[in-house]
Structure 1
Amino acid sequence: MRKKIVAANWKMNLTLAQGEKLVNELLQAGIALDAHKEVVIAVPFPYLITVKELLKGHKGFYVAAQNVAAEKAGAFTGEVNAEMLHSIHTDYVIIGHSERRELFHESNATLAKKMDLALSHGLKPIFCCGEPLDVRKAETQNAFVAKQLEESLFHLSPDQLKHVVVAYEPIWAIGTGLTASAAQAQDMHAFIRKQVAGRYGEAVANDLTILYGGSVKAANATEIFAGADVDGGLVGGASLVAAEFAAIAKAI
């Protein structure tokens, strides 16, 4: 059975005290996680150790970094490398989020380097892909996402891919007032799985967890997660409200 995951992405929000309160509220929200379900909380770098400690002993809860450097080490002021994240027992790391691609101009080649470094240090990447509005309007989203997969992911071995989670972000449906339907989400997830199957075979593709990252809320989570190829969500704003995120987590 494929792993089902709901991942919270706090982005650049919350003080440490606010973050601790949010985590404690989540842990008290009655989120039942069986062996194939996980909750991953991606927090700002300064909070990783604290949140990891808070989650200790809570089965199925994991911590993620929101980014990782594309270099091993050296004179890169302000960067955090994979070895550092591994040394503080970080479980997951988000790579290629649309905000990193757009605001920080991270290329597919850069993301491929990040994938390699993360995996070589025992981190599980949540690899983000997805198209902007102009691409969706031109109806070339499949080719756009296929290129992202080809240039950043498909150099990995089948064994490496087993440790990767993919998150599809329809950038055009995030904070724009537009909404991706459950059918549109399922269609792209199925396309991504088909691309993986073409490269690695059906068995590997069927084991790959693919998350949806397009403004998931408690109100639409059940419908979106009902898609045959949708294995959970990467949640932004809704993850900052304990009750809302707990309801989403209970929908997987």
Structure 2
Amino acid sequence: MTRQFFVGGNFKLNPSTLAASSSLIGGLNSAELDPATEVVIAPPSIYLLSAKESVRSDIKIAAQNCYFKESGAFTGEISPKQLVDAKIPYVILGHSERRTLFHEDSALVATKTRAAIDAGLKVILCIGETLEQREAGETGKVCQAQLKAVVDVTKEADWSKIVVAYEPVWAIGTGKVATSAQAQEAHADVRTYLAEAVSPAVANNIQILYGGSVTASNCKELARQQDVDGFLVGGASLKPEFADIINARKE
């Protein structure tokens, strides 16, 4: 089975003005992008609707986070139902910055994932280990524990709505990149775990993205790995080279 290549751009808290956001979208609109690659961008929440209205039709929009309640007294949050109503198809959940800076544990990420799927969203589910965990040989253990929390609250059919993004925390925004062999090993471990914990069919079909200082210069080698089905790109998604990353598998 050939899994569709998938590239997401996580803009994080960038850019800082609507004009800059429009300029970024304009650059993507005029770029030559591989039509075989699914492209999703995640602007800051305040720019979600303007981005959706202005971006070309072959690029989808994701929110960077959401809460697990439909509505209520939850100041500052966005609900899955609101995202669906606004025709935003994707949400990123479990990003390491949410886990570390905002203290979201795997149980909360799983609760959010359940709520997002129930509302009709597709989820880009982020997992990954710290440098200390990598050096202790705990990469597989950490990723499996983060996945297990979601496995425990989902059914097999739900996994058709999930894309997994493996993002080693030590490589995010640091300029350090997992080698292609390290990325492949981690992705293969994820696939093996999902085959056992959910089903072989889910493991075979699910897209597993690599994230962590992906650039135009390292993307082609990473994209050649058997179990690397695309990228979740941070800083480079704000630069013209994002188009080169989207085209990593284009001949």
Range of TM-score over shorter length: over 0.9
8 A Cα contact 1:154 1:199, kept in partner: no
Which residue does the alignment assign to 2:69? 71
> 2: CA distance between counterparts of 1:128 and 1:87?
24
> 1: CA distance between counterparts of 2:130 and 2:152?
22
1:94-120 deviation line (CA, Å, top 9, x unaligned)? 000000000000011101110011111
Which residue does the alignment assign to 1:49? 49
SS at match of 2:161: coil
SS at match of 1:125: strand
**Identity within the alignment, %:** 45
> 1: CA distance between counterparts of 2:197 and 2:67?
27
The alignment's C-alpha RMSD in Å is 1.2
> 1: CA distance between counterparts of 2:38 and 2:193?
25
> What TM-score comes out, normalization by structure 1 length?
0.95
TM alignment of 1:155-166, pairs within 5 A: 155-166=153-164
8 A Cα contact 2:68 2:116, kept in partner: no
Which residue identity is paired with 2:242?
Answer: F
SS at match of 2:225: coil
The CA deviation at 1:200 is: 2.3
> Does residue 150 of structure 2 align to residue 152 of structure 1?
yes
The CA deviation at 1:155 is: 2.8
> Does residue 9 of structure 2 align to residue 8 of structure 1?
yes
SS at match of 2:209: strand
TM alignment of 1:113-192, pairs within 5 A: 113-192=111-190
Which residue does the alignment assign to 1:39? 39
Runs of 5+ in structure 2 lacking a partner?
Answer: none
1:163-187 deviation line (CA, Å, top 9, x unaligned)? 1000000111223453310100000
8 A Cα contact 1:186 1:229, kept in partner: yes
Could you tell me which of 24, 27, 51 is aligned with 1:25? 27
Aligned residues: 247
1:178-207 deviation line (CA, Å, top 9, x unaligned)? 331010000000000011111222222110
> 1: CA distance between counterparts of 2:119 and 2:173?
34
8 A Cα contact 1:67 1:93, kept in partner: yes
> 1: CA distance between counterparts of 2:149 and 2:200?
20
Which residue does the alignment assign to 2:81? 83
1:29-65 deviation line (CA, Å, top 9, x unaligned)? 111313xx21100011111111111135x23x10000
> 1: CA distance between counterparts of 2:50 and 2:174?
34
8 A Cα contact 1:70 1:111, kept in partner: no
> Does residue 236 of structure 2 align to residue 235 of structure 1?
no
Out of 135-144 and 65-74, give the one that drifted further.
65-74
230 and 154 in structure 1: CA distance in 2 versus 1, 3 angstrom threshold: farther
Out of 206-215 and 18-27, give the one that drifted further.
18-27
Which residue does the alignment assign to 2:242? 245
TM alignment of 1:87-106, pairs within 5 A: 87-106=85-104
8 A Cα contact 1:131 1:172, kept in partner: yes
> 1: CA distance between counterparts of 2:151 and 2:69?
17
The CA deviation at 1:208 is: 0.1
Which residue identity is paired with 2:32?
Answer: G
1:78-132 deviation line (CA, Å, top 9, x unaligned)? 1111111111000110000000000000011101110011111111000000000
> 2: CA distance between counterparts of 1:181 and 1:150?
26
> 1: CA distance between counterparts of 2:48 and 2:173?
27
Which residue does the alignment assign to 2:202? 204
